[in-house]
Structure 1
């Protein structure tokens, strides 16, 4: 399987970076081809351009500035996202969704209105490996787990109705001990090894 591993964190020595390295190592060890898309190191600009927004509902979306990233998305069989939840998605990852998961790429607008039509049927697997600074109960009970809902219902659904979605999260990272972090990385390795 060809996996697009999308990493969104500015620090190369972050826990998210350790998670991305662990996932990449396990996936490659299992024989998968991993395309590491490090949004910060590749200089991805999250700002939707005027031409992109202007063409959003036109017959053809202006993807000229993001065509390389779109090609990588279209070449993938699966997506694994690695990012921290900073109230929501990091801005660079939100911009990646805005600019790359675009009309004519990830979906088509229904000409009759209503639901969108999925276009990324090549994507069979959509996983997210994330962290939060908040405890589990705050994310789930108080906030309603918004990132999970947006990823599963709003973004993964663009790909295909039958895409395999999974989100693995370490909560309360700000207070996590080294032992808790190591246990989480072991959990990530074990779960990713099933792909």
Structure 2
């Protein structure tokens, strides 16, 4: 399987970077092809341009401003995201990745009559995310309603592809845990990735 592994964290020595490396290593060991897209290291511009927005609902939308990222998404069989949750949401650079790369004609097709959009990512069969939060589990799930999971699963994944293997794995209380729990989480990540 060819996996597009997207990392969204500004620090090279972050826990997210360690998680992405554990995912990359385990996938490679198991014979998968991994395309690591480190959004910060590749200087991805998350801003939807004026011309992109002006053309967004036109028939035959031209997504060429977001190349080569679109080509990398189209070449993948699976998508694995690694990112921290900030303010119960995606880092801005990852949100911009969705805005610009998951574009009309690429990830979905607009219904010209204003109905439901049609999924276009038939090549993507696996959509996993590994994330961290500074908040405890109960705050994310009970108080906030797990907004990142809802956005990924019910929004992006459901509207862009069908029959996906979806998984979201979160490490909560990131700001208060010790190295033992961090190492245990990385082992959990490796065990899960080993099943792909």
Task: Please state which band the TM-score falls in when normalised by the shorter chain.
Answer: over 0.9
**SS of the counterpart of 1:175?**
coil
Distance 2:6 2:115 in 1: 30
TM-score normalised to structure 2 length: 0.98
Aligned length in residues: 195
Q: How does 1:170-185 map to 2 (within 5 A)?
A: 170-185=171-186
- 1:65 deviates by 1.9
What does the per-residue CA deviation read over 1:137-175, in whole Å, with 9 as the maximum and x for residues that have no partner?
000000000000000011111332201110010000000
SS at match of 1:140: helix
Give ranges in structure 2 of 5+ residues lacking alignment: none
Q: Secondary structure at the match of 2:68?
A: helix
Partner in structure 1 of residue 190 of structure 2: 189
- Do the aligned residues in 1 keep the contact of 2:118 with 2:160 (CA within 8 Å)? no
Q: Which runs of 4+ in 1 moved over 3 A?
A: none
Give deviations 1:35-76, integer Å, cap 9, x for gaps: 000000000000000010001000122322212000000000
User: For residue 120 of structure 1, what is the aligned residue in structure 2?
Assistant: 121
RMSD of aligned Cα (Å): 0.8
> Residue 101 of structure 2 corresponds to which residue in structure 1?
100
1:58 paired residue number: 58
Counterpart CA distance in 2 for 1:44 and 1:5 is 14
- Contact 1:123 1:159 survives alignment (8 Å): no
Secondary structure of residue in 2 paired with 1:153: helix
